[in-house]
Amino acid sequence: MENNKIPKAYKRQLIWRFLKGSKAFFVLSMLCAALSALADLLSPQIIRVAVDNVLGGKETALPAFALRLVEQAGGFPYLAEHIWIMALALLGVALLKALSVFGYNVSKTKAAETLVKTMRDSLYAHIERLPFAWHMKHHTGDIIQRCTSDIDTTKNFVAEQMTNIIRIVILLCLSLGFMLSMSWKLTIIAVLPVPYIIVRSFHFHRKIGEAFMKADENEGILSSMAQENLTGVRVVRAFGAERRERDRFFAQNDYYTSLWMKLAQPLAQFWSVSDVLSGIQILLIVVFGSIFCIRGEMLPGAYIAFLSYGAIMTWPVRMLGRMISEMSKAGVSVDRIAYIMQAEEEKENGKALRPAMDGDIRFEHVSFAYENSPEILHDIDFTMKAGSTLGILGGTGSGKSTLMLLLDKLYELPEGCGTISVSGTDIRDIETAHLRQNIGMVLQEPYLFSRSLRENIAITDPAMSMDAVREAARAACLDETIEGFSKGYETFVGERGMTLSGGQKQRAAIARMLTQNTPIMIFDDSLSAVDTETDAKIRAALERRFGSASIILISHRITTLSKADQILVLDKGRIVERGSHEELRRGGGIYQQICEIQSSSAEEVTA
């Protein structure tokens, strides 16, 4: 899945939208982080006052509010006699620190989980509204990876890094302020490595952004391979392809791992150099601070406090580098999420009418081509009378299924490519939901969910009565089969219906469609896996129960199509024959040839 260039303005709007419901928690977490930073900064000052002013009896410049607090406590001589008051002050600051850290962790966790829920809900809801054509172009595994791993990466950056911004700013600014007030010379020496660390961090961000993107995309490929192989495990086993598929997975996994191994080297270099520079910064403070103390340019308490501020300042400087590194990964993840969110949802391009759907179906000079493919349908023109049965026969790739996908608006018929109408209304002007609610479709490859048979049949209405479920199952010739299972209708169906045979899956899908009781029913080669006797029973049941419905049968089996009122024969996207079974059987064309071949095969089997 290739990402187009996502505008930064759109990404900002998207993040702001995702933050709905969690903003208050994030603000609270930032306030708690700020209080925690203030607590960290107060402790060295209390120690400094205790050493220099209270115990050392030195006169040092203190802020007015600090002097007022000292006077209220009884002055420096009184504090020297009652040193426990200074210890109590440190304990109070530690308590403030503990409470603020607790508040930070709780509010940050609530904010992060609320953010994740909002992102997942928004992304899932948007994906469900995307056109069928979009889903056909993108791998399911990659979509899943964007909905899980990329969301977690974004959450971690916002929750762990962004919430620390205020803390970092406070620690940097106030630490520098306190350090300048104690010794401007030592402050200059202490901050010498900082500009280099910052510049190097931004350079590192630009350097690894593309590498993170490549690694993330290949994780999506790996997820797609795992999803496809786990879903199609029966096919893999049936063809003895375990070794080949395993080798393919191992090769992709090796390549994906190698990408992160390549990333590990610059990451290790970056953090190693940052650690060395932070160590040099502390070393400079220790050496030059000691010299200034020996010379009498700095008091012992101020020196101790300065060391604390130097250690405190290394954390936000290093965090800045980590934040920039995480920003690279989060930026890639946001791009990948925004790519999906920016995809245009399926929308009404016409008048969104809701006409009766029990009239004639008309295809007028319809031509169609899939994106970046040659034209697959050429000037298709026919009318299907209301309540009749239409049969469609054709070879693979002749466009049979495409006709039905267009009728159901799963693919949009472009302007100038003909018209499809139901009850005299162009389907472009029919509300999409209304159209699909009135067209029942059983696809060529039926899909069943990992639920019970009852839930699969009643999927359109979970509150459907068992009588309605049984009636649909009987029409699909499935009721007796289900009753033969030990748990009956509560029998659990494995993923994609893997615990059922091909014919049972098709009949379950037919029963599911019949519960809708739609005026238009489409069977897209959905009787191919059942025997001819069951095929005949299902068609007879449909005729008895849905005699007024318009039924479209797509099949390769002549017996399935023989009772249709009209049969179309497609070849290379064109209608080459049309008529009743009897007319086409004697027409000397493709239909007659197929009819003779299938009749001969049936006679051979009987013999």
- pLDDT of 343 > 60? The answer is yes
State how far Cα 319 lies from the chain centre.
Answer: 29
Q: What is the pLDDT of residue 605?
A: 47
Whether residue 91 sits in one domain with residue 139: yes
Name the residue range of residue 287's domain: 8-342
Q: What is the pLDDT of residue 205?
A: 65
Whether residue 276 sits in one domain with residue 294: yes
Which of 342, 368, 392 is the C-terminal boundary of a domain? 342
Predicted confidence band at 497 (pLDDT cuts at 50, 70, 90)?
low
198 versus 496: which is more confidently predicted?
Answer: 198
100 versus 556: which is more confidently predicted?
Answer: 100
Q: What is the pLDDT of residue 107?
A: 92
Domain with 502 in it: what CATH number? Answer: 3.40.50.300
Whether residue 601 sits in one domain with residue 477: no
Which of 517, 551, 569 is the C-terminal boundary of a domain? 517
- pLDDT of 328 > 50? The answer is yes
Whether residue 415 sits in one domain with residue 335: no
- What's the mean pLDDT in 471-493? 85
Lowest mean pLDDT among 270-279, 408-417, 436-445: 270-279
Whether residue 289 sits in one domain with residue 204: yes
Mean pLDDT for the chain overall: 83
- What's the mean pLDDT in 489-507? 77
- What's the mean pLDDT in 102-127? 91
Predicted confidence band at 607 (pLDDT cuts at 50, 70, 90)?
very low
At a CB cut-off of 8 Å and minimum separation 6, what does 15 contact?
158, 334
Number of domains present in the structure of the chain:
3
Predicted confidence band at 333 (pLDDT cuts at 50, 70, 90)?
confident
Domain with 108 in it: what CATH number? Answer: 1.20.1560.10
Whether residue 311 sits in one domain with residue 234: yes
- What's the mean pLDDT in 484-506? 78
Predicted confidence band at 209 (pLDDT cuts at 50, 70, 90)?
low
Give residue-wise pLDDT tens across range 296-319. Answer: 888 888 888 888 888 787 777 767
Give residue-wise pLDDT tens across range 514-532. Answer: 888 889 999 888 776 677 7
Predicted confidence band at 8 (pLDDT cuts at 50, 70, 90)?
confident
Q: Which two tokens stand for residue 551?
A: 């039924």
Q: What is the pLDDT of residue 380?
A: 93
Predicted confidence band at 34 (pLDDT cuts at 50, 70, 90)?
confident
Q: What is the pLDDT of residue 495?
A: 63
Q: What is the pLDDT of residue 123?
A: 92
> Is 3 inside any structural domain?
no
Torsion 501-506-511-513 (CA) sign: positive
- What's the mean pLDDT in 30-51? 85
Predicted confidence band at 98 (pLDDT cuts at 50, 70, 90)?
very high
Q: What is the pLDDT of residue 194?
A: 76
- pLDDT of 102 > 90? The answer is yes
How many Å from the N-terminal Cα to the C-terminal Cα in the chain?
A: 54
> Is 29 inside any structural domain?
yes
* 578 burial type by CB count under 10 A (0-12 exposed, 13-18 middle, 19+ buried): middle
> Is 182 inside any structural domain?
yes
Predicted confidence band at 223 (pLDDT cuts at 50, 70, 90)?
confident
> Is 2 inside any structural domain?
no
Which residue carries 């693919």 as its tokens? 411
Percentage of residues of the chain with pLDDT beyond 90? 17
Element at 367 (helix H, strand E) = strand 361-369
Lowest mean pLDDT among 155-159, 248-252, 266-270, 334-338: 266-270
Q: What is the pLDDT of residue 529?
A: 63
For residue 384, the SS3 value is strand
Whether residue 329 sits in one domain with residue 209: yes
Query: What DSSP string describes 104-135?
Result: HHHHHHHHHHHHHHHHHHHHHHHHHTS-HHHH
Q: What is the pLDDT of residue 589?
A: 85
87 versus 224: which is more confidently predicted?
Answer: 87
Whether residue 524 sits in one domain with residue 495: no
- What's the mean pLDDT in 557-586? 89
Provide Rg for the chain, Cα atoms: 36
> Is 574 inside any structural domain?
yes
Q: What is the pLDDT of residue 234?
A: 65
Q: What is the pLDDT of residue 570?
A: 92
Report d(CA 9, CA 54) in Å as an integer.
56
Q: What is the pLDDT of residue 103?
A: 93
- What's the mean pLDDT in 218-241? 75
Predicted confidence band at 606 (pLDDT cuts at 50, 70, 90)?
very low
- What's the mean pLDDT in 584-597? 87
Whether residue 360 sits in one domain with residue 223: no
Report d(CA 539, CA 356) in Å as an integer.
25
Whether residue 408 sits in one domain with residue 358: yes
Helix and strand numbers, DSSP H then E, in the chain: 23, 10
- What's the mean pLDDT in 267-273? 76
Whether residue 206 sits in one domain with residue 150: yes
Give residue-wise pLDDT tens across range 240-254. Answer: 778 888 888 888 888
> Is 12 inside any structural domain?
yes
> Is 248 inside any structural domain?
yes
How many Cα atoms within 13 Å fall on the side-chain side of residue 170?
18
One-letter-per-residue 3-state SS of 538-585: HHHHHHHHCCCCEEEEECCCHHHHCCCCEEEEEECCEEEEEECHHHHH
- pLDDT of 3 > 60? The answer is no
Whether residue 576 sits in one domain with residue 522: yes
Burial 113-126 (b: 16+ CB within 10 A, else e): ebbbebbeebbeee
Give residue-wise pLDDT tens across range 392-415. Answer: 998 888 888 899 999 999 889 988
- pLDDT of 62 > 70? The answer is no
